Structure 1
Amino acid sequence: MIISVSRRSDVPRFYWDWFLGELERGETVVVNPFNTRQVKKVSLLSQDVDGFVFWTREPYRIRESAGMLLERGYQFYVMVSLTGYPAIFEPQAPPLDRIIDDLHRLSACIGSERVFWRYDPILLSSLTSEHYHVEQFQFLAGALATAVGRCIVSLYDPYAKSDKRLRALETERLVEIYPLYKERRYVVPEAVNLLGRLADIAHQYRIPIYSCAEPDGLVSYGILPHACVDGSLFGLKKEKDPHQRSFCRCDRSIDIGRYGTCPARCLYCYAW
């Protein structure tokens, strides 16, 4: 059993003490987000957990607990989202330099092969143009080259709530959002060109680069499809999660976070 912590909320950043408490209890309770009457207990005992997949913007609490997790026999890896976007998109983002430092410290603690950098989601807008992304990605790749085992990129998906928030910015004439997909299956040429340039930069710094839930046409740029929840990293056979997006390659897992609880309030996020 793989435990995802969490797609739905930044548990390592905001609710780590809760997670450690549940770990001590040896179990947690998961509520079905689509039917709150469905509640189930999930074991967190090391013999029942094949591995933890941590998703966060701020990994320092994981680093603090890494020794304890390893001593208790837990396998895990950490995915850290880091884009450095303007505050209008990421109003509560932690300072960029601090997260870069945290990533190096985490890597020194658990090994870079367990630390993944997510440049995600990619927004094309009047504030985050192709030129912006190329410069930002170049800086981050240079800063993180020795600290991360891979980079995962993903284009913004227009979920109803997040799209409404972004369109409100357009209405207020604060920013213009540019489309990334045509009929969802086809990435627009501007976005494909950008991804190709990001791939070139990643290869320059010898960072393996993968895509998250994108069409397969990016392979020619050296961007391979990626399973963010990857059972093979825990020695498991592939078992695709049927509850994820159509292009998602993630293996089956149990997510123990809750929608609507993340205080970060990134405007593009589907989880609040």
Structure 2
Amino acid sequence: MVVGSKSNPKLVRSEIISCSRRTDIPAFLMDWVIERMKLGYVDVVNPFNRKQISRVSLSAQDVKAWVWWSKNFQDWIQVYKSKKQLFDAYKAHTFQFTINSPSELEKGIQISLEERFKQAKWLINTFGIPSLNFRFDPIIFYKVKETNKLKNNLDRFEYIVDHLSHLGVKELIFSFATIYKKVQLRMDFRGYIPIELSIDKKKSVLNRLLMICSKRNIEMKACCQPDLLTVKGVSQAHCIDANKIETIIGETVKKVKDKGQRENCGCHKSKDIGGYTGIFQCKHNCAYCYASPSKN
């Protein structure tokens, strides 16, 4: 891979495009991504060195699969239906669909759980069950400053799991929230105190969730949670999984560990085309967001 400057970006090719861990492109930026797909490439700014630009090929000759990350696939589905020929030039589309309990921490998400279940059903019916990864992510405990009341976002967990199990979902990817400094500051600014649970407390919570999932034959997979892999019934998540993509498309996909992610990430290498600032500032505006640097 060769990366250039703003004045001379070099072309980067990747069999897997991630769109995007950094922001919710399917929910808010489908016009932007469609224009780049038509163009055949996209210029991606390195978020840690803004002088460094990658010109990433979006040609169907180079890209075997797209991995779409979102909490609301409504716009994506509508655009797919109207641009089906453009999308179907690629061998696979897979979906990281986060469906958490509605809460005050996700005030920007106005669409109901029931509407998102309909989206999940449509994606499964159109692309097949292996194409969809259901995420309940992150699990978070917190206090409200005004009342000092301890709360979490698990109140609709069983309801969500039950509905998705009826769609044929067999896996759930989860993590407990990591309280980065920017998360601490943002939640404090909004009147919340995030709680970092001990490993023993996480395991206790997890055992209750495992009972709910096991009744519905759903396996829990941990995303970047090495201390929880000792819990019976929990296995390592591979959110971007070249093996699964191979199964979908029926041909070989490169399997290289993505060293650009956190140490305990199980993902295979891809190229993410999102960003954090400017047009990429996510409008969901979740209080616990890892991506956005903003407090408000």
Q: Normalising by the residue count of structure 2, what TM-score does the alignment of the two structures yield?
A: 0.81
Aligned mates of 1:77, 1:34 — CA distance in 2: 27
Q: Does 1:30 align with 2:44?
A: yes
Q: Deviations over 1:3-28 (max 9, x none)?
A: 10001110000001111111111111
Alignment of 1:72-83 (within 5 A): 72-83=89-100
Q: Does 1:179 align with 2:196?
A: yes
SS of the residue 1:85 aligns to: coil
Aligned equivalent of 2:24: 10
Change (3 A) 1:269 1:146: same
Aligned equivalent of 1:142: 162
Q: Does 1:115 align with 2:115?
A: no
Aligned equivalent of 2:63: 49
TM-fit CA distance, 1:138: 0.8
Q: 5+ unaligned residues in a row in structure 2: which ranges?
A: 1-13, 144-148, 247-252
SS of the residue 1:232 aligns to: helix
TM-fit CA distance, 1:114: 1.0
* Letter of the structure 1 residue corresponding to residue 258 of structure 2: D
Aligned mates of 1:142, 1:97 — CA distance in 2: 12
Alignment of 1:1-272 (within 5 A): 1=14, 2-64=16-78, 65=80, 67-68=84-85, 71-87=88-104, 89-93=105-109, 94-126=111-143, 129=151, 133=154, 135-147=155-167, 148-169=169-190, 172=191, 175-181=192-198, 187=199, 189-235=200-246, 236-260=253-277, 261-272=281-292
Larger radius of gyration: 2
Aligned equivalent of 1:184: none
Aligned mates of 1:41, 1:238 — CA distance in 2: 22
Q: Deviations over 1:161-200 (max 9, x none)?
A: 112112334xx4xx4432224xxxxx2x121111122122
Number of paired residues? Answer: 259
TM-fit CA distance, 1:62: 3.0
* Letter of the structure 1 residue corresponding to residue 232 of structure 2: Y
The alignment-based identity, stated in percent, is 29
Change (3 A) 1:194 1:56: same
Q: 5+ unaligned residues in a row in structure 1: which ranges?
A: 182-186
Aligned mates of 2:76, 2:272 — CA distance in 1: 17
TM-fit CA distance, 1:207: 2.0
TM-fit CA distance, 1:149: 4.6
Change (3 A) 1:128 1:121: farther
Contact 2:135 2:173 in 1 (8 A): yes
Aligned mates of 1:193, 1:18 — CA distance in 2: 43
Name segments (4+ residues, structure 1) moved above 6 Å.
none
Q: Deviations over 1:185-235 (max 9, x none)?
A: xx2x12111112212212211223211011154343311111211121222
Aligned equivalent of 2:146: none
TM-fit CA distance, 1:95: 2.1
Q: Which has the higher strand share?
A: 2
